[in-house]
Structure 1
Amino acid sequence: MIKRIVQWIGAALLALSLFPAQASAAGYTQTRYPIVLVHGFLGWDAIGPYDYWFGIADTLRKDGAQVHIAQVTAANSTEVRGEQLLAYVKRVMAATGAQKVNLIGHSHGGPTVRYVASVAPQLVASVTSVGGVHKGAPLADIVRGTVAPGSFSETALASIVNGVAGTIAFLSGDSSTQMSTAALASMTTAGASAFNTRHPQGVPRSACGEGDYQVKGVHYFSWSGAQPFTNLLDPIDASMALLSLAFRGEKNDGLVGSCSSRLGRVIRDDYAMNHLDEVNQVAGLVNLFETNPKTIFRQQANRLREMGL
């Protein structure tokens, strides 16, 4: 009996050891078109060796993906960021000879990549939104409702946020002008609604449904988390848990509601992740009892590969 148990355990361990090798097979993430990663509000491409997409780009490249990390303004409107991204996409295409790109945006990067797909669909094979703020965020509404436009309070708050955004931009080598009030306007419910009227592709028509999977040749996907506190060692998790109170019981990742994150084909909107876990932050301190975010990005790259994208 003991011998049989030992043999069974050995077989199980062998099977487990083979699984990563299969998932890491050469070409697993090799999409037809380059992948462009687009950061969110107060984001960056890389500050020294520390990038916004902590370990994700390298994980995708390991098995064949061609990955480019965009730098757009840390704090500005969706349209301004979108125009910057459009220029970046054209540079990527010129440098690589690619006819299209696969865009993946996190947080405010979600609407940003949607903008490019809306105004230049011929350049985009797919749009993937990760924790995207597509129907506004309660925190933005609270700030806008508390701080009157043109008031001293708004000026003071904008100065602080612009200062933070400017520091991030300086450290990452970006010289863009920071406009936190424009970013705030884009992320309120009213601002998101107005943007969706102009650029409706992939946005669900119901409060918490799915959107069109494909519009003008562009494929739309999304996923997001729904657990604000996930790791005791992560210094940001407590803040995520506190900010989640603004949702009044609505499922959320600490900054974006699950329903607001939904776009096109919804892969999942309830991963046990918070808003930063979705991009493997902070420094990989994510939920040990949930699928690793790097694995989810790999799976999406493989999904795009299998679709010929």
Structure 2
Amino acid sequence: METKPHATRRLSGDLPFFCGLGIIAWLYVGLILAMVLANVSVVSWDTLVQTWRQPAIQSSIKLTLLSCTTTALLSILCAVPTGYLLARFKFRGRSVMDAIMDIPIVLPPLVVGLSLLILFNKVDLLGAGPIEGWLNDHGMSVTYSVAAVVLAQFSVATAFAVRMMKNTFEQIDPRCEDVAMTLGCNRSQAFWRVALPQAGQGVVAAGVLAWARALGEFGPILVFAGATRGRTEVLSTSVFLEINLGNIGGAAAVSLIMIALAISLISLIRYFTRSESNFF
């Protein structure tokens, strides 16, 4: 099959454009690979094994898995109804609500942690002093506890999950629910029997995305939950603690563990969102 002259001219004319796109993209990919290889270069196999066997790091891994999984489940419980509300209904204040949902995404992480700390320790919402004081009086505590780790992760991760679910419901044809309601379903039944089953892929993707976001959370956890070894230490704060101890090799080893988890999660996200046009 012969190539048409005008097609050849168009291809040659577009070549500099495509080369420019490729160079820019590969420069950034190269930076990411260089950062990963930088961690690998300072970690020997023995260092990685020794770091893995440390009781503090094993405790950190367990708490990371527990807190991220709890955060992902809570995020789904919040993101599914919120995403459906924003995607399906027009109501007064909708644009304001939609904008507020983006605040945890754009705020500096330390500000999120500081805001949570002030909320629980300074603000009186219950008429009996600060919230943390009221909780302590009733045998409960949030600040500098495992609950604080989950709440710090949840505050940020849920915003990403909401965006995913809103995008998912917007891509589902609402006429299917309208047909169900004409056949006798009410709005709630149409949601549970029609919309939610169709959004199953998006629900899983939102949960995985929330899990990934929780894994990388650091600032809010450090400020609101602290980094106490064996108590509130997760992998992100383990890196911080190892650096403070001057153990760069140990910090890089923990980073490689997080990179391995991140790659696994990215693969899952790409699998469950392969038919989605975009995340947000």
Q: Judge same fold: TM > 0.5, yes or no.
A: no
Report which structure shows greater RCO (CA 8 Å, sep ≥6): 2
Structure having the larger proportion of residues in helix: 2
TM-score by length of 2: 0.27
Structure having the larger proportion of residues in strand: 1
